[in-house]
Chain A
């Protein structure tokens, strides 16, 4: 297996495609040219920056710097969870619930994978730890965001049904069981669909990247299967913890529905 390196000239040639696109936009008056060029530039700068940061982290070989980088990734993903909510929890819960459950789920699954299956030496080697955490984090983030969104919507729109169940003597978990089920299924459906489509409809990005980098295809596939399992586990743990936490927060110890603990939209 071989690996073909690309250089700056190759990138410039490829960027002609974006420029051509911009030209078409100008020609048809779509008004997209500026946005297109701007986001292409942004993408280039962001990716180059992360490339240099990763190169530096790999060279430093420090567990503490690796941990700090991991926590920074979690912090940014936590903001993204919050940004995707129409109705947020009030106060610190808005950021805290999604971020803490994602932190716990993604970290546990990543450490589990590094110490028992992938086993690099040392186990926290940033070359393995950061990309794997990133992949688990991205999916867990989406799952938690969808789960919390479906939960708060379900409780708001289904207030009459939940309160009827409470009035008939169900506990806060019994009365919200139907909302919990909806929230968890919308959290897990992207992962389930992703697994079902992998290899037939889509060639997963990580596996494709490894193959381009010269890894033998079957070995790349094995890695991809492992990652899929880790993603499924992380997303399920994170979404269950976040949705149950959301139910705890939006009800109280007297089994009342407490939508007043949602922030005003």
Chain B
């Protein structure tokens, strides 16, 4: 079973964080804007320089080549980035994602769409599908439903819960208190100086 462990993780702002997230758990991070929630997720994926240690199954981040680490501990930005003109160019394994596209209400021909014509909600859902297709051990979600309607928010919550049940560990940054209660196995509330555990129910 995979276990993500943070030991004294510190980014430019916010508190120093020490905690663990085991396989099948979903830790929700809450707190005011600017408290460093996104920066923490980026540091866990090693996209930014940071202080402190991050370990996966007891293996420290620096002991693993960064690209391999990031494929296991995968960060999904609120506004996922795109680099080619067409949606399909961002998905090396087109057959493997057919099921997830269907779950999110996309028809298979969405792969022929131009990226610059996607709505922000479509971008966010496709970004999540892209991340899940790599089957990471740990998923770092930065407000994954910020641009979605109630229907799609429910779809995202269910899909992530399904993956959790299959043994994925999830860190979820959310501003929505009700959502936190629905998806979390643990909740941490961050303030500029400390991280406090909150009751889930």
Range class of the B interface residue count: 20 to 34
Shortest CB distance B6–A (Å): 17
What's the Cα separation between A13 and B183 when bound, in Å?
87
- 1/0 contact string of B61-90 vs chain A (CB within 8 Å): 010011110110011110111111000000
B45 within 8 A of A: yes
Is B66 in contact with A168, judged by CB distance below 8 angstroms?
no
What's the Cα separation between A163 and B82 when bound, in Å?
9
Which stretch, A27-35, A63-71, A154-162, touches the partner chain B? A154-162
Residues of A close to B83: CB separation below 8 A: 158, 161-162, 164-165, 178
A169 within 8 A of B: yes
When C-beta atoms are compared, the residue in chain B nearest to A160 turns out to be: B81
B49 within 8 A of A: yes
Q: Do A164 and B77 contact each other (CB < 8 Å), given the known contacts A255-B66, A256-B49?
A: yes
Residues of B close to A254: CB separation below 8 A: 46, 62, 66
Q: Do A169 and B47 contact each other (CB < 8 Å), given the known contacts A160-B81, A164-B82, A164-B83?
A: no
CB-contact partner of B134 in A161, A164, A168, A256, under 8 A: A168
Residues of A close to B76: CB separation below 8 A: 167
Is A169 in contact with B84, judged by CB distance below 8 angstroms?
no
A61 within 8 A of B: no
Count of A-B residue pairs with CB < 8 Å: 66
Shortest CB distance B94–A (Å): 15
A170 within 8 A of B: yes
What's the Cα separation between A174 and B71 when bound, in Å?
14
Shortest CB distance A259–B (Å): 11
What's the Cα separation between A165 and B75 when bound, in Å?
11
Q: Do A169 and B77 contact each other (CB < 8 Å), given the known contacts A158-B83, A256-B46?
A: no
Residues of B close to A162: CB separation below 8 A: 81, 83
What's the Cα separation between A166 and B80 when bound, in Å?
12
Is A160 in contact with B79, judged by CB distance below 8 angstroms?
yes
Is A160 in contact with B77, judged by CB distance below 8 angstroms?
yes
A171 within 8 A of B: yes
Residues of B close to A158: CB separation below 8 A: 81, 83
Q: Do A256 and B66 contact each other (CB < 8 Å), given the known contacts A164-B83, A169-B71?
A: yes
- 23 pairs, CB–CB < 8 Å, chain A vs chain B: A158-B81, A160-B79, A160-B81, A161-B81, A161-B83, A162-B81, A162-B83, A163-B81, A164-B77, A164-B83, A166-B47, A167-B74, A167-B77, A167-B131, A168-B70, A168-B74, A168-B130, A169-B71, A169-B134, A178-B83, A254-B46, A255-B66, A257-B47
